[in-house]
Amino acid sequence: MELRTLRYFVAVAEELHFGRAATRLHMSQPPLSRAIKQLEAEAGALLFARSPAGVTLTPVGAVLLDEARALLDHADRVRARVFAAAGVATLTVGILGDSTDPGATRLADAYRRSHPDIDIRIRDTDLTDPTCGLRAGLVDIALTRAPFDETALTLRELRTDPVGVVLRADDPLARRGRLRRADLGDRRWFQFPRGTDPIWQSYWNGGEPREGPVVRVVQECLQAVLWNGTVGLAPLGHDLPAELAAVPLIDMAPSRVVAVWNKGDTNPLIRSFIEIATAAYRH
């Protein structure tokens, strides 16, 4: 199994949609579909159950997803050590959430203009690690959302976004102009897996323990709302499918978009990144 094919598989598994995964991978859908079929042939089993409503992981696919993530993380660490030994100037940036955020787009353009000779590597991560692999040494700096455990880390706030409740469009609460957390007391919320940063988990659960399905990526959150009537929180201002709606939550602290890096890291590329990011998100 090639690493590239495993990256394709992880993208489809996290998006649960071949079209969205192809967009995320900056490729067309037909070669992505062929790569997944070849991977299924190598595995000797179906990895996805396909239907007109979309795709879901099979039990074999779920096992491969865990193993593929671990293998790709290890490969990233190996690559970083090799580049460091070779003296190649690289900066690995972890991104959590929407990589099409206008602030991130402006940042990418400005950083490339300022540092055309730097090899920029992007690590797109799921919702279970708000530091995007920073603590594990997988990235040099992360664009993510606070709050989370800041021990041994340095944060720079770039923007704040109001938070809303994501509901099915036919949910009676979706017709309300605004909501409070008390309005959702009897609802099921989506959860993050055991071991997820507790500060992060608490924030997205409205500050108290909740019951609900376990999710790892944004698309799983949306599918939990669509299929199970689960509710959850999300930054406002992002496009949602027509079947879903977001209602402002007025007693919830805003979500903070931050850049985060290891405390004491003196890499000049990181310092430049922070300066450029601060300007890019100010617009």
pLDDT of residue 60: 95
Cα–Cα dist 263/150, whole Å: 10
Angstrom distance (rounded) from CA 218 to CA 206: 17
DSSP-derived letter for residue 183 is G
Strands 163-168 and 244-248: antiparallel
Place of tokens 């959150």: 221
Question: Which pLDDT belongs to residue 271?
Answer: 86
Q: What is the pTM of this model?
A: 0.70
As given in the structure block, the two tokens for residue 224 are 């939990």
| Four-point Cα dihedral 283, 99, 133, 29, nearest 10 | -170
Specify the pLDDT at position 233. 92
The reported pLDDT for the residue numbered 200 is 95
What are the chain's domains?
A: 1-85 (1.10.10.10), 89-161+254-283 (3.40.190.10), 163-253 (3.40.190.10)
pLDDT of residue 177: 93
Measuring CA to CA, which residue among 45, 191, 40 is closest to residue 127? 191
| Backbone φ and ψ of 152, nearest 5° | 65, 15
Q: Encode the chain (283 residues) as per-residue pLDDT tens digits.
A: 788 899 899 989 988 888 888 877 767 888 899 999 999 999 999 999 988 777 899 999 999 999 998 888 788 777 666 656 656 578 999 998 766 688 888 999 998 888 887 888 888 888 889 999 998 889 999 999 999 999 999 999 999 999 999 999 999 999 999 999 999 988 999 889 888 999 999 999 888 888 899 998 888 888 899 998 898 899 998 888 899 999 999 999 999 999 999 988 878 888 889 999 999 998 6
